[in-house]
Amino acid sequence: MPELSGYLRQDGRKGIRNIVVVAYLVECAHHVAAEITLPLRENGVHLVGFPGCYPNAYAHRMMENISTHPNVGAVLLVSLGCESFARQELAETIAASGRPVETLVIQENGGTRSTIENGRSWVKDVRAQLDTQERVPMGVEELVFGAICGGSDATSGLTANPAIGNVFDILVEQGATCIFEETGELIGCEQHLARRCVTPELGDEVVASIDKARKCYETLGHGSFANGNAEGELTTQEEKSMGAYAKSGFGPLHGLIKPGDLPPGGGLYLLDVVPDGEVRFGFPNIVDNAEIGELIACGCHLILFSTGRGSVVGSAVSPVIKICGNPQTYEKLSDDMDLNAGAILTDNLTLPEVGKQLLALAHETVNGTPTRSEGLCHQEFILTYKSFEPLGPSCLPGF
Amino acid sequence: MTSHLAVLRIHPSDNICVALHPMEAGTEIDCGSIQFVLTQDIRLGAKLALMPMSAGATILKFGEPIGTLTEDVELGGYVHTHNLKSEYVHHA
């Protein structure tokens, strides 16, 4: 394995990027925050935010975890002024983490033009400061990887997801933390997954979380199944699930977490992204980037994203490696794709061979090589209302 | 650049195979001990019945149930949203 390196943070975690985050705390501050980042987004300045005017514990926790993520070096908060977001509390959390933080309140800063000017000036200074920070050696056991599939088709479960599963098995063996999601795409796989859990009680929690997703989908009358999936020759939710499940590999499952929970040690974790309680606030995840944001809030340094139909997204804060399962899609979108797992179908490459390519790509990305989506300035971020209860007592056995 | 395989039976207990390339009607398919001729053009990833099956039969892929047939299907018949329904989540 090559030597890995990252940026050391005060809490002992290390980041693989040194991003300045500009965060809007309500949609009314979105434009100003976006204008601040616009000329600087190719220089590691990313936009995140929460649009709602009313407070939400989940959203606050997400914003705290994103702002103190190891890939983040400094944070500028942009507030309109009259929204409910607890901006001072967030600023204090960020300051306590040892990161430079500034809050600009548009209503107290003379409005749009001067807030943009002040914001850009602060960001430029802090960017220059962060650029002098040196990378330090980092072990694979310090890394947290996330896996997601989006724009799935019939190839996802044959090539790209099994390739991620193969790499997850290797990384967990080496001591890394690997997180996959989502429970709605495990409908039909619950008993199989329960048998992989390190304790029977964790198995019960996993089955219950998948049942929660099924009930939520029934109430909403909508699963995680889109028309594009059917055009890609997937027919049912359970068929899509079987393919999605492959990205978890074959190893034991060590824990079940919810958005914002940091895994307590190396191993394989399932992220339950479906809100608890009665169905409120609409669909659990309106789009892939909502889940990517949640994986990042759980500490993921790097996201492995498999696609068949051809998603082009990246993310703010953490690099996204795009693994294309469909060789026809790869031909059309090769500029957006980091890896052609469809070569398993066309070039008779084996799964371990593609896994090896993916692992090499992950190592290069950790050490600073930009992924395709990073190079194209894909910095998508979306955060909406949700509510969660704390984890059950059996969700993290052995920690 | 072409794979030797046209279709893949992912799990030995599967009653469908998956097309590994787009193929045209009339193509002769050889899936182990089972042979048939395609009656329509198909896309990459299409599911094809490995035996004649009746409405109500459970389709297995990856060795696991992925839905129930709503119509009878011939050997080599195309299985998709027109004749297969979910047992879990019903989507429009």
* Per-residue pLDDT, B3: 44
* Chain A residues with beta carbon closer than 8 angstroms to that of B80: 230, 233, 235
* Per-residue pLDDT, A251: 95
* Per-residue pLDDT, A223: 73
Chain A contact for B11, CB < 8 A?
no
Query: Of residues B88 and B71, which shows the higher confidence score?
Result: B71
B46: nearest CA partner in chain A: A233
* Chain A residues with beta carbon closer than 8 angstroms to that of B91: 222-223, 225, 237
Residue with tokens 């940026």: A7
- CA atoms of A180 and A308, how far apart (whole Å): 18
Q: Which of A395, A386, A178 is nearest to A286 (CA)?
A: A386
Is B91 part of a structural domain of the chain?
A: no
Could you say which residues from 302 to 331 on chain A have a Cβ atom under 8 Å away from some Cβ of chain B? 308, 326-328
Domain that holds residue B61: 7-85
Cβ <8 Å between B88 and A158: no
Could you say which residues from 92 to 111 on chain A have a Cβ atom under 8 Å away from some Cβ of chain B? none
Biggest CA pair distance of chain B? 40
Helices A57-67 and A87-96 sit at what angle, rounded to 10 degrees? 30
Percentage above 90 pLDDT, chain A: 87
A vs B, Cβ pairs < 8 A, gives: 97
Q: Which of A339, A343, A228, A243 is nearest to B43 (CA)?
A: A228
Distance between A151 CA and the closest CA of chain B, angstroms: 14
In the chain, the amino acid numbered A172 is V
**Does residue A37 register a pLDDT over 80?**
yes
* Per-residue pLDDT, A221: 79
Pairing of strands B64-69, B58-61: antiparallel
* Per-residue pLDDT, A171: 98
The whole-number average pLDDT for the span A173-178 is 98
* Per-residue pLDDT, B4: 59
Pairing of strands A19-24, A72-79: parallel
Q: What is the DSSP string of A80-129?
A: -SSS---HHHHHHHHHHTT--EEEEEGGGTTSHHHHHHHHHHHHHHHHHH
Chain A contact for B82, CB < 8 A?
no
In chain B, the number of structural domains is: 1
Chain A contact for B89, CB < 8 A?
yes
Chain A contact for B65, CB < 8 A?
yes
Is B1 part of a structural domain of the chain?
A: no
Burial of A267 (0-12, 13-18, 19+ CB in 10 A): buried
Under the banding of pLDDT at 50, 70 and 90, the label for residue B92 is very low
Is B92 part of a structural domain of the chain?
A: no
Q: Any idea which of A47-61, A93-107, A369-383, B76-90 has the lowest mean pLDDT?
A: B76-90
Is B90 part of a structural domain of the chain?
A: no
The whole-number average pLDDT for the span B13-39 is 94
A211: nearest CA partner in chain B: B88
Chain B contact for A155, CB < 8 A?
yes
- 3-state percent breakdown (helix, strand, coil) of chain B, nearest 5: 0, 40, 60
* Residue range A247-291, pLDDT digits in tens: 999 999 999 999 999 999 999 999 999 999 998 888 888 899 999
- CA atoms of B38 and B81, how far apart (whole Å): 18
CATH number at residue B45: 2.30.130.110
Q: Which of A70, A103, A106, A108 is nearest to A89 (CA)?
A: A103
Mean of per-residue pLDDT scores for chain A = 95
**Does residue B2 register a pLDDT over 60?**
no
* Chain A residues with beta carbon closer than 8 angstroms to that of B48: none
Cβ <8 Å between A158 and B91: no
Cβ <8 Å between B67 and A230: no
Pairing of strands A4-8, A14-15: antiparallel
* Chain B residues with beta carbon closer than 8 angstroms to that of A237: 86, 88-89, 91
Cβ <8 Å between A222 and B10: no
Which residues make Cβ contacts (< 8 Å) with residue A131, sequence separation at least 6?
A: A18
The whole-number average pLDDT for the span A317-323 is 98
Q: What backbone phi and psi angles, to 5 degrees, belong to B19?
A: -75, 130
Is B30 part of a structural domain of the chain?
A: yes
Is B27 part of a structural domain of the chain?
A: yes
Is B11 part of a structural domain of the chain?
A: yes
Under the banding of pLDDT at 50, 70 and 90, the label for residue B90 is low
Q: Return the residue in A161, A182, A187, A236 with the most chain B beta carbons within 10 A, the one to mutate for interface testing.
A: A236
Q: What is the DSSP string of A44-89?
A: TEEEEE---SS--HHHHHHHHHHHT-TTEEEEEEEE-SSS---HHH
Under the banding of pLDDT at 50, 70 and 90, the label for residue B1 is very low
Angle subtended at Cα A325 by Cα A324 and Cα A329, rounded to the nearest 5 degrees: 65
Under the banding of pLDDT at 50, 70 and 90, the label for residue B89 is low
